[in-house]
Amino acid sequence: MDSHMLNPSDYVGVSFWIISAAMVAATFFFYVERDRVVGKWKTSLTVSAMVTLIAAIHYFYMRSVWVQTGESPTVFRYVDWLLTVPLLIAEFYLILSAVGTVSAGVFWRLFTGAIVMLLAGYLGELNADNATMLWSLFVVGTVAWLYIIYEIFAGEASKANTSQGTVASKRAFSAMRLIVTFGWSIYPIGYIYGYAGSGDVGALNIIYNLADFVNKIAFGLIIWAAATASNANEKVS
Ligand SMILES: *C/C=C(C)/C=C/C=C(C)/C=C/C1=C(C)CCCC1(C)C
């Protein structure tokens, strides 16, 4: 049998396949739907399409790495995240700045938190055979993530939303908060389950793939829903 073909009973490989297709379809959807929304929401849909497009490219390649080596495509996973997570942070900032003034410091604090979180996770996974490294870097990454949560629930970002947001922007902002709190929690759960629980790289990859589906596609759909609702009941410049 040709080991370079995707085996239908390889569930991990099939999950890479399905998410690749979903990322391409989502990119098409966000791009086309951009025409239906007004004003600054267009940029938000453009960014959503960029996120799913970048992910699609990485998913094609990660599937090949998995199928051909049976190993986690860790480097490409984190290259993808390092490109897409800052774009998702930019989405937050766009939603907020579409409705009023919010300092650039908000963007940079969220951005810095995300970079620290991802670098710590990457170095931890790279040193997965060293339990001290694996778990101390996990703690660093988790603290950075909790800092992001703090900033969007209690920091300047949150205050700008409360004082200046419109109905649609508030809806988008609170949905984004839920994504960052609950959707993003799937990643550390995958890390714990993959390295401490099952010790199974297949399970780790299935959980990360599911998390990307939620946090890239569902996230874009939430913004799309807020943007199209905003068409109906308010004017955005
Ligand atoms: C599109 C990709 C996204 C939204 C990736 C998000 C990744 C995370 C929220 C990762 C979180 C992690 C921690 C909170 C602790 C350290 C291990 C990580 C990097 C998996």
Burial of 32 (0-12, 13-18, 19+ CB in 10 A): exposed
pLDDT of 170 reads 82
pLDDT of 232 reads 63
- How remote is the CA of residue 39 from the centroid of ligand 1, in Å? 31
Angle between the 11-33 and 201-212 helix axes, to the nearest 10 degrees?
10
19 ligand 1 Cβ < 6 A = no
pLDDT of 99 reads 63
pLDDT > 90: what percent of the chain?
68
pLDDT of 111 reads 96
Structure tokens at 28: 């098409």
**Cβ neighbours of residue 69 under 8 Å, at least 6 residues apart?**
none
Kindly report the pTM of this predicted structure: 0.92
Mutate to test the pocket of ligand 1, among 111, 178, 187, 216 (most ligand atoms within 8 A of CB): 187
pLDDT of 237 reads 43
Greatest mean pLDDT among 12-26, 95-109, 223-237 lies in 12-26
- How remote is the CA of residue 231 from the centroid of ligand 1, in Å? 33
pLDDT > 70: what percent of the chain?
94
Indicate the average pLDDT of the chain.
90
Check if the beta carbon of residue 168 is closer than 8 Å to that of residue 229.
yes
23 ligand 1 Cβ < 6 A = no
pLDDT of 236 reads 45
Q: DSSP letter string over 134-177?
A: HHHHHHHHHHHHHHHHHHHHHSHHHHHHHHH--HHHHHHHHHHH
In the predicted model, what is the mean pLDDT of residues 155-165?
Answer: 77
Which ligand 1 atom lies nearest to the CA of residue 180? 9
Structure tokens at 171: 């809806």
pLDDT of 50 reads 98
Q: Confidence band (pLDDT; 50, 70, 90) for 131?
A: very high
- How remote is the CA of residue 186 from the centroid of ligand 1, in Å? 8
Q: Which residue has the tokens 């299935």?
A: 206
**Cβ neighbours of residue 128 under 8 Å, at least 6 residues apart?**
134, 195
CA nearest to 155, candidates 98, 97, 107 = 107
Check if the beta carbon of residue 223 is closer than 8 Å to that of residue 44.
yes
Angle at 79 between CA 127 and CA 19, to 5 degrees: 105
